[in-house]
Amino acid sequence: MATKKKTIKSYKSTTKTIVTPDGKTHKVKIGSAADKKYSTQISAPTIKTSTPISSSFSSANLKSGSSGNEVKTLQQALNARGANLVVDGKYGPKTEAAVRAFQKSSNIANDGIAGPITKGRLYGQNLATSEEVAQDQEDVALQEALGQDPAMKAIYDTLNLQIQMAKEQGQRVNPDLTITPEMTARFISEATSKLDPYYQELIRQKKEDIGTSIQRLQEDYNTQIQREEPAFQQTLESQDINEAEQGLAFSSGRVQREQNIISDQQNRLTDLQSTTQRSAEDLGVSGERTLGSRAFADLGIPTLQSYIAGRGTIAPRGQLAPKGSRNLYNPLGNISGSMPWERETGIKTEVGNLKDQEIKKRILNTGYGLGNTSLG
């Protein structure tokens, strides 16, 4: 007859023992109403230790990778709060998760690091300074705010990870990110030295282009004047020949007809000068708005020779006599100019970049390490 093998079932404990502040021991079911009731009454876990708690526990951080007796004590304290950890003295993922759960329930920054505030709450001791408590409250508020914005939370978590990795490599986070006036002055000098050659060259080229364009307008105007005078003389001569052939050389209307030719020529001169001046003014307005009044003044104020048409006293009849000069363009004044503005903006942007680089360098640079604080 075959003997039946007894199967021994292994049961995971569903109860735990809680010691309340009055010294009474209560065996309760894990997760029950009694468990929740008595757990909230516990101000500190009962931990067996041969020395007073204030001297046996340091304020040093315990985190993932930590090990030793203090980690065992932490695990025991967490178990007394309802965790179900193996007390092996190794700060692994389960211990970290239990720390986070306790931090969340205690309304402190849940970073998974058992620092002075976390251990102080857990052990019923005040192991944190007032500054650390204030910082922790700020961290809690920040985590709550970030929780409402997943994108910002992801950025924040990534930055925290980078900082943590830097710390593990011996780098430190420097809380002093002040940019002094002396540093700002140095950044302005560096930015100016870097960008000035570029903008000075742009301004030089623009001046040269405007100067060349105005010079061409003047040359074209003078060329046209030189062409107008022979044509004017030819018109008067043709009029004299026609008057003689028709026997009107001494008629009363001859002078008026000649004056009409001179008036027409004067109108042509006026139109030519006005057209040239309008083109020059367009160049001047555009140039001054680009260069600014100060830089544009270096070009000087170009002028244009005026002429008057007349019969003349010597042959050939008909002359275009100079009659003073006119400014081609009168500067508007008090215009900053787009190029100087772009230069100033570029320098400000570069100064901002230099400040950002300085701050980033300080954040993760051992040379500026003035503190390494994680409150937990």
Q: 299-323 pLDDT, tens per residue? A: 888 889 999 999 877 767 888 999 9
Q: Which domains does the chain have, with CATH numbers?
A: 44-127 (1.10.101.10), 198-339 (no CATH)
Chain position carrying tokens 């508020």? 141
**pLDDT given for residue 154 in this prediction:** 75
Cα distances (Å, whole numbers) of residue 308 to 212, 219, 270, 320, 321: 27, 19, 9, 5, 5
**pLDDT given for residue 34 in this prediction:** 63
Structure tokens at 240: 């004299």
Could you give the dihedral angle defined by the CA atoms of residues 197, 201, 202 and 205, in that order, rounded to the nearest 10 degrees?
A: 170
**pLDDT given for residue 45 in this prediction:** 46
**pLDDT given for residue 157 in this prediction:** 73
Tens of pLDDT along 173-207? 555 678 889 999 999 999 999 999 999 999 999 99
Chain position carrying tokens 């944190």? 128
Provide the residue-wise pLDDT of the chain in tens; the chain has 376 residues.
454 544 444 444 466 655 454 545 556 666 666 666 655 555 444 444 433 344 456 667 898 889 999 999 999 999 988 899 999 999 999 999 999 999 888 888 888 888 888 888 888 766 556 666 666 666 666 666 666 677 777 777 777 777 777 666 666 555 567 888 999 999 999 999 999 999 999 999 999 999 899 999 999 999 999 999 999 989 988 888 887 888 777 777 788 888 999 999 999 999 999 999 999 999 989 999 999 998 888 888 888 999 999 987 776 788 899 998 888 888 888 999 999 999 999 999 999 999 988 887 776 554 444 344 444 4
**pLDDT given for residue 348 in this prediction:** 94
**pLDDT given for residue 374 in this prediction:** 42
What are the start-end ranges of the H helices in 246-372?
Answer: 254-291, 293-297, 338-363
Contact assessment for residue 232 and residue 320, using Cβ atoms and an 8 Å cutoff: yes
Distance, CA of 92 to CA of 337 (rounded, Å): 64
**Bond before 181 cis per omega within 30 degrees:** no
**Could you tell me where the beta strands, DSSP code E, fall in 44-151?**
none
